[in-house]
Amino acid sequence: MGAVDPTFIQELEHRPKPAVIEAHGIPQIDLSPFTTTSPATTTTAAAAALRDLVDQIRGACANWGFFQVINHGVPIESREKVQAAAKRFFDLPAEEKRKVRRDEANPLGYYDTEHTKNVRDWKEVFDFTVEVPTVMPASYESDDDEVTEYPNQWPSYPPELREACEEYVKDVQKLSNKLLELISLSLNLPANRLQPFFKDQTTFVRLNHYPPCLAPDLALGVGRHKDAGALTILAQDDVGGLEVKRKTDGEWIFVKPTPNAFIINVGDIIQVWSNDTYESVEHRVRVNSRKERFSIPFFVNPAHYTVVEPLVELTNEQNPARYKGYNWGKFFTTRKRSNFKKLDVENIQIYHFKKPDERKLDDVVARVENVVI
């Protein structure tokens, strides 16, 4: 990517500190009780193990907003194949990668000028969806009911990339279904309560490449943000770079990679569904001057027509719904605008949908009217 130009430089208060604070106490959850049983298990020992697992999920979501999982059922070989193929792709000359460059009409494929909080990220990415094709709104405009299909763009080289990615998707999809069941149980809901939202899912996968950076004290691989979807299942290599904003004191803490573990982030949609019982966690990625880094986030998202609002079972007179409902597809397409142009305002966020008794409504009304049902 060459020398650091001003578009990469973070504001002073958002630059990474020289000293790294390593995280301690991050929940590491063994999923084997769930991978070998199911919510319908009736044996006493298995039922007790499952209850303990659900309790761990509940504590991690409420206290941290993220956790790591081991014994998750995804073969290490599947992950290694994708990582190897991704490296071969990102090693290609820029003109080759840009043959599958994404644009506003189809935001899938290769991209190297993404922005977070209106500052350019020090990374390049390749995106593809789980459902083929994925149906989304044709535009973010509220009066436009047209939908469009997002086809995946696969490069000719390396030839093994597509097969490796599609195999990986099958394995991680099973894990995402298990996690949604566990989170549903942790909210004292039936295991399949969230399943209908994902019938026509808009889940997508990203291959991230973070090259060495000449000024890691000025730039970030990805700036501070919260994930807009339901869940993120992240595979990172042994270089590491993920930092999470600790809820207790607001410090940025480094999440040391754990071999063959996945990091699970609670997303904004689960925050809304749970009516703030669980909270999406802010995170970012720091870069270094010596080593390139690779990661693979699997963004678990519902159907485009989903109306995201607090689940009725989790609201009552004492705990009323804290958010107005919004259309996920319109929300997503609105967010995507910032990938192709620098906006004059912060991109759309779930706090724009806080109800009046939770947050004073002023200039946000004009910004959200495109996506509110």
8 A C-beta contact, residue 311 and residue 273: yes
C-alpha dihedral, 168 to 172 to 173 to 177, nearest 10°: 170
- Please report the pLDDT score of residue 362 as a whole number: 46
> What is d(CA 122, CA 147) in angstroms, rounded to the nearest whole number?
32
DSSP H helical ranges for the chain: 32-35, 44-63, 76-90, 94-97, 161-186, 268-273, 328-336, 364-368
End-to-end Cα spacing for the chain: 42
Amino acid at 311: L
- pLDDT in single tens digits along all 373 residues of the chain: 446 789 999 999 999 988 888 878 889 999 998 876 555 556 788 889 999 999 999 999 999 999 999 999 999 999 999 999 999 999 999 999 999 999 878 889 999 999 888 899 999 999 999 999 899 998 888 778 899 999 999 999 999 999 999 999 999 999 999 999 999 999 999 999 999 999 999 999 999 999 999 999 999 999 999 999 999 999 999 998 999 998 888 889 999 999 999 999 999 999 999 999 999 999 999 999 999 999 999 999 999 999 999 999 999 999 999 999 999 999 999 887 655 555 555 578 888 899 886 444 444 555 555 565 6
What predicted TM-score, i.e. pTM, was given to this entire model? 0.91
Tell me how far apart the alpha carbons of residues 122 and 203 are, in angstroms, rounded to a whole number.
Answer: 24
Position of tokens 């390593």?
22
| pLDDT number for residue 341 | 54
Q: Exposed (0-12), middle (13-18) or buried (19+): which is 18, by Cβ within 10 Å?
A: exposed
* Closest by Cα among 285, 225, 280, 286 to 247: 280
